[in-house]
Amino acid sequence: GAGVSQSPSNKVTEKGKDVELRCDPISGHTALYWYRQRLGQGLEFLIYFQGNSAPDKSGLPSDRFSAERTGESVSTLTIQRTQQEDSAVYLCASSSLGGRYNEQFFGPGTRLTVL
Amino acid sequence: RKEVEQDPGPFNVPEGATVAFNCTYSNSASQSFFWYRQDCRKEPKLLMSVYSSGNEDGRFTAQLNRASQYISLLIRDSKLSDSATYLCAVNFDRGSTLGRLYFGRGTQLTVWP
């Protein structure tokens, strides 16, 4: 079946502009996660959605970052007034409540470059 | 102390060799454990979940040691295609397998002919 998809695959923007990144989870997966990975670094958690529960926003680095999810479908991650340190690969993952171990499956990521 | 730690390597081994990676974690309440593989400029791909009793998938064996708070990955008969970065990931949520994963920074493996 189809995996997690993300768009755009690459985004180059100027400092100070807003960007919106999109994630389509695997169909039927109720949990959705955003992580980011800076060059040469590990994965950094940003935000987690599970069904209709309040999202876990504990990883968002500043109030310039926000994310939304409509039901159990698409999620968008918005970064306002982008800064150069926001340059990273933004990865989305989804998982199923029915999974025994909460295996998370990742999309291909959006590579964001802030000039 | 970082929540999840790995030796960054690099590990450089010849084809056919056996190689092992360890990963330590800081939270004794951790519920679930995983190994991911990440190729250069690609997303992490789930390699194995790590079960309490240990588990094997072909040439790959994963083990969990709760007392010492580490997980391990053993690769036997290494192939050139095993060259990648191996990430361990741990869920820390008490009583639940949901929630964020904490990732190590990865161990780089290169298998040479």
For strands B11-14 and B107-112, give the pairing.
Answer: parallel
Cβ within 8 Å, pair A42-B98 = no
Pick the residue with more confidence: A42 or B53?
A: A42
The pLDDT of residue B94 is 58
Interchain proximity A42–B103, CB inside 8 Å: yes
Task: Evaluate if residue A34 carries a pLDDT over 80.
Answer: yes
Residue A98 — very low, low, confident or very high, per pLDDT cuts 50/70/90? Answer: low
3-state secondary structure of A94: strand
CB A92 within 8 A of CB A8: no
Q: Distance between CA A74 and CA A61 in Å, rounded? A: 22
Average pLDDT over residues A9-38: 95
Nearest beta carbon to residue A101 from set B32, B87, B105: B32
In Å, how far is A22's CA from the nearest CA of chain B? 16
pLDDT at A101: 67
CB contact under 8 A, A45 and B43: no
Mean pLDDT for A82-97 is 94
DSSP state of B108: E
Instruction: Give DSSP secondary structure letters for A48-81.
Output: EEETTSPPB-TT--STTEEEEE-TTS-EEEEE-S
Residue A99 — very low, low, confident or very high, per pLDDT cuts 50/70/90? low
Mutate to test the interface with B, among A32, A44, A50, A102 (most CBs of B within 10 A): A102
Among B92, B90, B86, B66, CA closest to B74: B86
Conformation bin of residue B41: beta by default, left when phi > 0, alpha when psi is -120 to 50: left
**DSSP label at A85?**
G
CA distance A88 to A41: 10
User: A31, B98: Cβ pair inside 8 Å?
Assistant: yes
* Greatest mean pLDDT among A13-22, A38-47, A97-106, B18-27: A13-22
Q: For residues A106 and A6, is the Cβ–Cβ distance under 8 A?
A: no
**pLDDT tens per residue across span B3-62:** 899 988 899 999 999 999 999 999 887 778 999 999 999 999 999 999 788 899 999 999
Q: Does the beta carbon of A95 lie under 8 angstroms from any beta carbon of chain B?
A: yes
Compute the distance between CA of residue A107 and CA of residue A19 in angstroms, rounded to an integer: 18
Q: What value does the mean pLDDT take over residues A6-26? A: 97
Average pLDDT, chain A: 92
Mean pLDDT, residues B61-65 taken together: 94
Buried b (16+ CB within 10 A) or exposed e, A47-61: bbbbeeeebbeebbe
Cβ-contact B18, B75 below 8 angstroms: yes
